[in-house]
Amino acid sequence: MTPASDNPSAPVRRSIPIWIQILIWLGLIGLLAILLLGILRSENPMLRVGSKVQDFPLSLYSGYEYQGAGQVHLADLRGKVVLVNFWASWCQPCETEAADLETVWRAYQPGGKVVFLGVDYVDTPPEARVYLQKYAVSYPTGPDLGTNISKIFNRNLGVPETYVIDQQGVLRSIQIGPFQSAADIQAVVDPLLAGN
């Protein structure tokens, strides 16, 4: 009996091309990454309306301090309605709501019962400052250093995103994308001021 290699009628076994092997491995790695992300997200689920928001510090840009302090903690704002707006200077949709946010902030600021916090997401301070000056932003604003604040909210949809927290530190509203008007912002905040 002769070996198969000597037999011309024996089927030839071909190997899978290297580029197909690479694609298969990349697909498997991608699948593992998706599974890992799902596991991590289940350990830190997305913050939902009705959830208590954990405390966080926000270091503020110079000129955008809160009551003279260069840092503010969410826990220190208990008893006030807090609007947390994630934005970036490179974000076109953020620009569409910037003037409305500032208008509403200036309306609420004298009463002292509402605090706006601007959280600059994945940005650079020079570009952020240009944005803040362009839109005459005056409410407390600072960078999301190490994306630590966005991790608390487990945001993953982009900017702008706005979270409104009641006087007891409970999340009451999530706005994905820009507000369309100052009235839309007030429609979220006013009921909380009225105790609803």
Mean pLDDT of 39-54: 73
Mean pLDDT of 145-163: 86
Q: What is the pTM of this model?
A: 0.77
Are 40 and 63 within one domain? no
In DSSP terms, 135 is beta-bridged to none
Calculate the average pLDDT of the chain.
89
Q: What is the CATH number of the domain that holds 131?
A: 3.40.30.10
Q: Which residues contact 111 (CB under 8 A, 6 or more apart)?
A: none
Range of the domain at 32: 15-44
Are 65 and 96 within one domain? yes
Q: What angle do CA 94, 185, 150 make, to 5 degrees?
A: 50
Instruction: Determine, yes or no, domain membership for 8.
Output: no
Task: Report the number of distinct structural domains present in the chain.
Answer: 2
Report the alpha-carbon distance of residue 118 to residue 104 in Å, rounded.
Answer: 13
Are 156 and 82 within one domain? yes
Instruction: Determine, yes or no, domain membership for 135.
Output: yes
Q: Confidence class of residue 96 from pLDDT cuts 50, 70 and 90?
A: very high
Q: Confidence class of residue 42 from pLDDT cuts 50, 70 and 90?
A: very low
Instruction: Determine, yes or no, domain membership for 133.
Output: yes
